[in-house]
Amino acid sequence: MQYPIQEQSNTVPQAQAVVEARNVSRTFRSGDTVIQVLRDINLTIQSGEFVTLQGRSGSGKSTLFNILVGLDNPTQGEVAILGQSLQPLNEAKRATLRREKVGLLFQNAHLVPVLTARENVEIALRMLLVPARERSTLSQEVLERVGLKDKMEHRGMELSGGEQQRVALARALVHRPRFLIADEPTGNLDSMTARNIILLLRDIVTQTGVGLLVATHDRNVVSAAHRTVNIHDGALA
């Protein structure tokens, strides 16, 4: 059976824009009031690039993230993932592009507590109709990659916060996405555990060539990144 996971290669792919926002603006309407939440955003993340997004609460980070992965539409401008503009695509095609090419990581791991680490990771592959044997092999490989070789058969509820976040990272990476987007991934972790996750993210970017965008207030994440962009009142500084 064919499924859309690329063959693993030891060479990092040539730099390519994994996501590109061009002149993106977003307004919301509340009664007669129009609220401008994003203003003329231009942002490109290349493959192999680790970029952080910093901004105060309410500055527009979540709104931008939703638009970058096609969960919301800009009022003006456009977004392309790997050169494919999202705006002409219908919901089903966007969902497919997201499942195949994008990895999502959040502050909370959101594991299914009664499933094992491996089963939690396999969920991402079930949605891509990957056959059972491949699901198991790919999930084991990526769990090993995030340092959980010995905990694969532990249930989500038996893992520490840092281990759960590693499983969530494995789940976000198992289908070999080209664009990984993370919202405060170290927000719930103690500083030592957070540091390990940051080093792991950096290694993964270098080794796989995934493009990574992280919204964070964590100075250690910012200093590990190649570049930081600041958002203020919906505009990039």
Ligand X SMILES: Nc1ncnc2c1ncn2[C@@H]1O[C@H](COP(=O)(O)OP(=O)(O)OP(=O)(O)O)[C@@H](O)[C@H]1O
Q: Which residues bind ligand X (CB under 6 A)?
A: 28, 30, 35, 37, 55, 57-63
Strand partners, 6: none
| Minimum distance, C-beta of residue 32 to ligand X, in the bound complex (Å) | 13
Strand partners, 78: 22
| Minimum distance, C-beta of residue 231 to ligand X, in the bound complex (Å) | 7
| Nearest CB to ligand X, comparing residues 5 and 235 | 235
| Minimum distance, C-beta of residue 15 to ligand X, in the bound complex (Å) | 28
| Minimum distance, C-beta of residue 38 to ligand X, in the bound complex (Å) | 8
Cβ atoms 144, 167 nearer than 8 A = no
Q: What is the edge-to-edge ordering of all strands in the sheet holding 84-85?
A: 33-46, 17-30, 76-81, 84-85
Short-list 64, 12, 1, CA closest to 37: 64
Cβ atoms 23, 67 nearer than 8 A = no
| Nearest CB to ligand X, comparing residues 31 and 88 | 31
| Number of other CB atoms surrounding residue 200 within 10 Å | 16
| Nearest CB to ligand X, comparing residues 37 and 68 | 37
| Minimum distance, C-beta of residue 71 to ligand X, in the bound complex (Å) | 12
| Minimum distance, C-beta of residue 182 to ligand X, in the bound complex (Å) | 13
Cβ burial, residue 61 (10 Å; 0-12/13-18/19+) = buried
Region for residue 21 given its phi and psi (left: phi exceeds 0; alpha: psi -120 to 50; beta: otherwise): beta
| Nearest CB to ligand X, comparing residues 25 and 46 | 25
- Using alpha carbons, list the distances in angstroms from residue 49 to 27, 64, 91, 94: 29, 18, 28, 23
